[in-house]
Amino acid sequence: MQRYFSVATNLGSLRKPMDTLLAISKESDLLWSRSAILRIAGVEVRTGNVSQGLEMLKVKAADLVVLCHTLNEAQIATIAVLARQVNPVVRILRLNATKAYYSSTEVADATSMTQSELVVSK
């Protein structure tokens, strides 16, 4: 069964077949919980810290890269550049823990909303 991911952006909803997802975080507990949920849904998930994630991208491209809020701007930029070199159509999702992180050099295709933003938007 083919799995899909959808990303809502200011350009509209993007929907494409997804073969592999790479989740990168400094926190192993966050990686474990996120990947467990996705694996139950049948998604091939690879996880790692920054250096492991970069090595995984060199071996096999990902269709979606999920970047944890624990990563700094330089790490996010480095991962995004490599991810797009090996797969120009990769989608990058940046997870957000606060409202105040937005960068003028944003490299992600989409950013998650904070819990407080979700409550306010309902």
What is the model's pLDDT at position 38?
82
Helix (H), strand (E) at residue 74:
helix 73-86
How confident is residue 111, by pLDDT bands cut at 50, 70 and 90? low
* Residues 45-70 pLDDT 10s: 999 999 999 999 999 999 999 999 89
What is the model's pLDDT at position 93?
87
Our count of domains for the chain comes to: 1
Q: What is the CATH number of the domain that holds 87?
A: 3.40.50.2300
What is the model's pLDDT at position 21?
92
Q: Domain residues for 87?
A: 3-121
* Residues 9-38 pLDDT 10s: 443 444 555 678 999 999 988 888 888 888
pLDDT, greater one: 107 or 27: 27
For the chain, the distance separating the N- and C-terminal CA atoms, rounded to the nearest angstrom, is: 33
Closest listed residue to residue 65, CA positions, set 14, 18, 27: 18
